[in-house]
Amino acid sequence: MASDARVSKKAAAMALAAVAGMSLTSIPAAAAVRPTARQPVETAPGAQAASVPGIPKPPTGLSALSWLVADADTGNVLAAKAPHRKLAPASTIKTLFAVTVLPKFTSGTVRRVSTADLAGLGSGSSVVGVKAGRRYTVDDLWRGVFLRSGNDAVHVLAAMNGGWRKTAQEMEQNARRLGAHDTTVKSPDGYDVPGQVSSAYDLTLFARAGLANDDFARYCGTPRARFPSVGGTPIENSNRMLAGSHGVSRYPGIIGVKNGYTSKAGNTLIAAARRNGRTLLVTVLNPQSKVANGVYKEAGSLLDWGFRSAGTAEPVGTLHAVQGTSDGRPLLPAAAQANAVGVHPGSRWRPALVLGAGLAGAAAVGLTGLLAMGRRVRGRGE
């Protein structure tokens, strides 16, 4: 009987691996295939990168708890470390907030801010300086969100969207539509709240979806702007890799996306850069080195490696595919549309989005749930 049980368990494991192996492009290979020298499973120690002769290995000495390098045009994951590890995202979760809320209001819409709009702003939050009683355009508010990571601006936009809780629920729903299953939203601004988590994989998905929208790309790529107040206070993007500030040089080809920090999350960053017709995305979560500007240095070294290797490096997985829409709605998944290509019609960037089979999406849900390792989060806000 014991022998029969062992055989049954082995058969079940082989069946699960077979289902995963049948999936096409919308499930990360690291979570979908059995371990080999070229495609290690997510639980393997260290970084995941295919070993190919003549292709440089990813940089050593990276201290981040989780990171991922992807080709934004094809969706190929070039290398990763613990891509589905659930961690506090800090303000990088504002990418999902923007993907969810930004299409709903025209940039010229004016909001007279009330005291209720700013209620619940967490102690120690990063703010851009939104004041109750003043009028702001939606364009102003989004610059406050992207440049200064203003939680006050997020609160106003969430109030316009129907409230804090409704916005958090919509963000989670949108995350699932995009194929992101590691993300739980409790506070749309990224403030440390118990239970709020995301992953390098999910955050990369949000950034990729966002960059297919012209407005998102414009806001996240703006180094400096003016914010309405007495005299029009100048503001600088807190993403040092974009602004070229605080001892960090502007990264060549940088086009965004979003940085963050909280006491629980540590430093977090999603960075996108374009060179020679190729766009790469790098997400870095919580470097442990304590080196000044460590998150930017690690992201820069990963981008450097990606540009040296892109086009020749063997992918270790694929980002869940999404399809653009022509009516301004948030991007939705297109896993069921096998062998199709979706491009946001108004995008300057126009990524080629690789689509997969519906079975792949179903397998991704089950396998991601089995493999992801979560941790509860607490702490003070950004």
Tokens of 177: 């539509």
Q: What is the mean pLDDT of residues 97-115?
A: 97
**Is residue 353 pLDDT above 60, yes or no?**
no
**Res. 364 pLDDT band, cuts 50 70 90:** very low
Q: Report the C-alpha gap between 79 and 59 in whole angstroms.
A: 11
What per-residue confidence (pLDDT) applies to 18? 36
For residue 220, the model assigns a pLDDT of 98
| Residue 94 appears among annotated catalytic residues | yes
Residue 149: active-site member: yes
The neighbour count for residue 193, using CB atoms within 10 Å, is 20
Residue 166 has pLDDT above 80, yes or no: yes
Model pLDDT, residue 229: 76
Using CA atoms, how far apart are residues 45 and 21, in angstroms rounded to an integer? 22
Span 175-195, average pLDDT: 97
> Which amino acid makes up residue 306?
G
What percent of the chain has a predicted confidence (pLDDT) above 90? Answer: 64
What tokens were used for 84?
């589905």
Catalytic residue among 23, 26, 91, 199: 91
Confidence of residue 322 (pLDDT cuts 50, 70, 90): low
Type and span of the H or E element at 374 = none
The answer to whether residue 336 scores a pLDDT higher than 80 is no
- The CA-CA-CA angle for residues 94, 97, 100, to 5°, reads 155
- Contact yes or no for 334/342 (Cβ under 8 A): yes
> Residues 23, 66, 126, 149: which is the catalytic one?
149
Position 311 confidence tier, pLDDT thresholds 50, 70, 90: confident
14-28, 41-55, 86-100, 233-247: range with lowest mean pLDDT: 14-28
Q: Give 85-122 as a DSSP string.
A: --B--GGGGHHHHHHHHGGGS-TT-EEE--TGGGTTPP
Least confident span in 20-24, 162-166, 239-243: 20-24
pLDDT tens-place string over residues 252-265: 999 999 999 999 99
The verdict on whether 309 is a catalytic residue reads no
Domains of the chain as residue ranges with CATH = 2-371 (3.40.710.10)
pLDDT at 146: 98
Q: How far apart are the first and last CA of the chain?
A: 57
State whether the Cα torsion 96-100-105-109 is positive or negative: negative
- The mean per-residue pLDDT over the stretch 187-205 comes to 97
Q: Give me the pLDDT at residue 17, please.
A: 37
pTM of the model: 0.75
- Interacting residues of 259 by C-beta distance below 8 A, sequence separation 6+: 91, 92, 149, 238, 239, 240, 241, 267, 268, 269, 270, 295
Residue 267 token pair: 């430093």
Q: How many CB atoms lie within 10 A of CB 352?
A: 12
Model confidence at 351, pLDDT cuts 50, 70, 90, reads: very low
User: Residue 233: what pLDDT?
Assistant: 73
Higher pLDDT, residue 226 or 18: 226
Share the mean pLDDT of the chain. Answer: 78
Query: Poorest-confidence range of 5-19, 219-233, 310-324?
Result: 5-19
pLDDT at 100 over 70: yes
**pLDDT at site 24:** 25
Residue tagged active-site, from 81, 94, 186, 297: 94
Query: What average pLDDT does the segment 344-351 reach?
Result: 34
Contact residues for 8 (Cβ-Cβ < 8 A; gap 6+): none
